[in-house]
């Protein structure tokens, strides 16, 4: 598996086009790649994304793309990892693939010192325990706030798109959408969970976890 950083602040649309081109051009011997990037601000709507979940774009670019899922936000302070994997070659099914990505994120968060992160039934992604009354991370909180999102596309047994992990960002743009199609879903980042790290440090941990999950 090969990793590479894209230019900081890369706009979404040309990266999406490059992912599609890579996936169309690859053959059975092409190594899997992970592209790491911190995007310029953008809202993306998935293939079946509903316009009503975009509440107020506020001048932020909106791109309709071909991944699964509804609407999400990418921007500065968020690590995005595009996982360009040949699932057919690996013998991995889609549901298993989603779980493997979630495992890698949960492991990454644990490595960085965040306890209690996990899944939410029926809602792909990774969530941190949250106290709605205080509007803050709480290891014993009963509610969940989204800290990482997933969105994938499978074409001819090969995956593209991937995951995003909130590190230290302006969360206000999430109020302009129903994140992932869920009205009122709170979002959180590592800084608000008391974890201080750079995107590079988080990426290093994530790469190790992806290697561990997918190279077993």
pLDDT band per the 50, 70, 90 thresholds, residue 75: very high
Residue 141's pLDDT is 78
Tens-digit pLDDT profile for residues 180-195: 887 888 999 999 999 9
Tens-digit pLDDT profile for residues 1-52: 999 999 999 999 999 999 999 999 999 999 999 999 999 999 999 988 889 9
Tens-digit pLDDT profile for residues 140-175: 877 899 999 999 999 999 999 999 999 999 999 999
Domain count, the chain: 1
Residue 136's pLDDT is 77
Tens-digit pLDDT profile for residues 77-94: 999 999 999 999 999 999
Give the separation between CA 164 and CA 149, rounded to whole angstroms. Answer: 5
When the pLDDT of each residue in the chain is averaged and rounded to a whole number, the result is: 93
Please state which of the ranges 16-20, 128-132, 201-205, 211-215 shows the lowest mean pLDDT: 128-132
Tens-digit pLDDT profile for residues 92-121: 999 999 999 999 999 999 999 998 999 988
| Residues carrying an active site annotation | 180
The CATH number for 71's domain is 3.30.930.10
Q: Is 122 left (phi over 0), alpha (psi -120 to 50) or beta?
A: left
42-45/61-64 β-pairing: parallel
Averaged over 52-66, what is the pLDDT? 93
Residue 7's pLDDT is 96
**Helix, strand, coil tally for the chain in percent (to 5):** 30, 35, 35
Give the separation between CA 62 and CA 24, rounded to whole angstroms. Answer: 25
pLDDT band per the 50, 70, 90 thresholds, residue 216: low
- Its domain, for residue 203, covers 2-214
pTM: 0.95
Report whether pLDDT(137) > 70. yes
Residue 123's pLDDT is 84
Ordered DSSP codes for 158-204: EEEEEEEEE-S---GGGGGB-GGG-TT--B--TGGGT----HHHHHH
Tokens for 135, please give them.
């509007």
Give the separation between CA 143 and CA 81, rounded to whole angstroms. Answer: 26
């Amino acid at each position: 598996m090969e990793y590479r950083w894209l230019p900081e602040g890369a706009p979404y649309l040309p990266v999406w086009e490059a992912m599609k081109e890579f996936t169309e051009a690859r053959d059975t011997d092409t190594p899997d790649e992970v592209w790491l990037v911190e995007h310029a601000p953008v809202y993306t709507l998935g293939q079946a994304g509903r316009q009503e979940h975009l509440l107020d774009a506020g001048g932020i670019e909106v791109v309709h793309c071909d991944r699964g899922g509804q609407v999400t936000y990418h921007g500065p302070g968020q690590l995005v990892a595009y996982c360009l994997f040949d699932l057919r070659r690996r013998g991995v099914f889609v549901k298993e693939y989603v779980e493997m990505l979630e495992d890698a994120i949960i492991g990454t968060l644990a490595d960085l010192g965040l306890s209690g992160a996990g899944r939410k039934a029926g809602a792909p992604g990774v969530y941190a325990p949250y106290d709605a009354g205080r509007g803050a991370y709480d290891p014993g909180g009963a509610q969940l706030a989204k800290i990482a999102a997933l969105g994938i596309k499978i074409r001819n047994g090969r995956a593209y798109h991937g995951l995003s992990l909130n590190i230290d960002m302006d969360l206000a743009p999430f109020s302009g959408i129903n994140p992932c199609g869920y009205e009122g879903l709170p979002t959180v980042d590592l800084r608000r969970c008391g974890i201080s790290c750079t995107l590079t440090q988080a990426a290093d941990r994530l790469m190790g976890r992806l290697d561990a999950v997918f190279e077993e």
